[in-house]
Amino acid sequence: MADLTTHIGNLTLKNPVMTASGTFGFGLEFADFVNLEEIGGIIVKGTTLHKREGNPYPRLAETPMGMINAVGLQNKGVDYFVEHTYPQLKDINTQIIVNVAGHSIEDYTACAERINALEKINAIELNISCPNVKEGGMSFGTSCPMVEKVVGAVRKVYDKTLIVKLTPNVTDIAEIAKAAEHAGADSVSLINTLMGMAIDAEKRKPLISTVTGGLSGACVKPVALRMVWQVAKAVKIPVVGLGGIMNATDAIEFMLAGASAIEIGTANFIDPAITVKVAKGIDEYLERHGFKSVKEIIGALEV
């Protein structure tokens, strides 16, 4: 067996496979199918300062090799997480990472502060794809000054590993990644969902309640891979790659493009045991190619 250990800043992962926020619940939903302790990291559902009901149904449309969702960050709020969910997760022997979302800088910092106090949680993933309600509803993650502002503010209150999750719905993702790095991020993860749309021609109606939503799944992989490659070249901090990873080969491609770790999202819906299969598949690949450590393939693309 090769050494699968990888690092994201100060955070040590026993293997590079993590779960993408919003696609793996709190992990417990999958405990019948996988040994959660064999997953490198579990990134739980996006958590906000206050409880959110999310968007109206329908929230899902299937598209060629993918899906569009409009869940709208439904969650019970950070206090509920701290009181009820965290106690169920804290003794699982893997990295549990909380995905933090907000609609104002104060929301983000207040939420991050609460999570900072949780002993067994060593990292947060900051979801900056959310609209900035106070400043016109444009996503925090789409302009460099706004990214610097929100990441800088969270950096002040959060002293463990800070991963910033980037939205792909931007003109130049490398510039955004550099802004996050400059503001103190320990790592960037990408991509969040691509903005998409689906229509029912017969009914002349949109298929989801919000008209547009987030595209994910196999179909987004080429875009995600390209962005991970661009970002890995632009920043010095470790990059976490995701978007359309369906199997071990996909995961390896992201690592070759420069990712130090990967996340599996939509694929969990199709095979609830995919995470551990990908970890095993990466190990097999390393053995087959004579690598001793997974670190040897990070950014090892020959161009």
Partner 1 sequence: MKKYIIDFCVSSNEALGNNAILLKLKAPGQMPEMRPGQFVEVKVENEPNTFLRRPISINYVDRSKNEMWLLVQKVGNGTRKLGELKAGDTLNCVVPLGNGFDTSAVKGKKVLLVGGGVGVAPMLMLGATLKAEGTTPTFLLGARTKDMLLEQDLFEKNGQLYVTTEDGTAGEKGFVTNHSILEKENFDKIFVCGPTPMMKAVAKFAKSKNICCEVSLENKMACGLGACLCCVTETQEGHKCVCTDGPVFNINELAWQI
Ligand X SMILES: Cc1cc2nc3c(=O)[nH]c(=O)nc-3n(C[C@H](O)[C@H](O)[C@H](O)COP(=O)(O)O)c2cc1C
Q: By the criterion CB under 6 A, which residues form the site for ligand X?
A: 20-23, 45-46, 69, 71, 73, 99, 127, 165, 192-193, 216-217, 220, 242-245, 264-267
Length of the chain: 303
The item of ligand X, partner 1, none sharing an interface with residue 270, based on CB under 5 to 8 Å by kind, is partner 1
The item of ligand X, partner 1, none sharing an interface with residue 131, based on CB under 5 to 8 Å by kind, is none
Q: How many CB atoms lie within 10 A of CB 295?
A: 18
The item of ligand X, partner 1, none sharing an interface with residue 242, based on CB under 5 to 8 Å by kind, is ligand X
Instruction: In whole angstroms, give the CA distance from residue 201 to residue 178.
Output: 42
Spell 258-286 as b/e; 16+ CB within 10 A means b. bbbbbbbbbbbeeeeebbbbbbbbbbebb
User: Smallest gap, in angstroms, from Cβ of residue 287 to ligand X?
Assistant: 25
CB 246 within 8 A of CB 228: no
Name which of residues 19 to 58 contact partner 1 (CB under 8 A): 22-25, 29-30, 32-33, 45, 53-54, 56-58
CB nearer to partner 1: give 58 or 137.
58
> What is the Rg, in whole angstroms, of the alpha carbon atoms belonging to the chain?
18
Name which of residues 240 to 279 contact partner 1 (CB under 8 A): 266, 268-273
User: Whose CA is closest to 21, among 131, 162, 141, 126?
Assistant: 126
The item of partner 1, ligand X, none sharing an interface with residue 149, based on CB under 5 to 8 Å by kind, is none
Active-site option among 111, 130, 144, 219: 130
DSSP string, 262-298: EEE-THHHH-TTHHHHHHHHHHHHHHHTT-SBGGGGT
Helix, strand or coil, per DSSP, at residue 80? helix
Name which of residues 67 to 86 contact partner 1 (CB under 8 A): 67, 69, 71, 74
User: Whose CA is closest to 215, among 55, 57, 66?
Assistant: 66
CB nearer to ligand X: give 61 or 237.
61
User: Smallest gap, in angstroms, from Cβ of residue 290 to ligand X?
Assistant: 29
CB nearer to ligand X: give 23 or 94.
23
Catalytic residue check, 144: no
The item of partner 1, ligand X, none sharing an interface with residue 273, based on CB under 5 to 8 Å by kind, is partner 1
Instruction: In whole angstroms, give the CA distance from residue 223 to residue 159.
Output: 32
Catalytic residues, by residue number, are 130
- Binding residues for partner 1, rule: CB under 8 A, are 22-25, 29-30, 32-33, 45, 53-54, 56-67, 69, 71, 74, 217-218, 266, 268-273
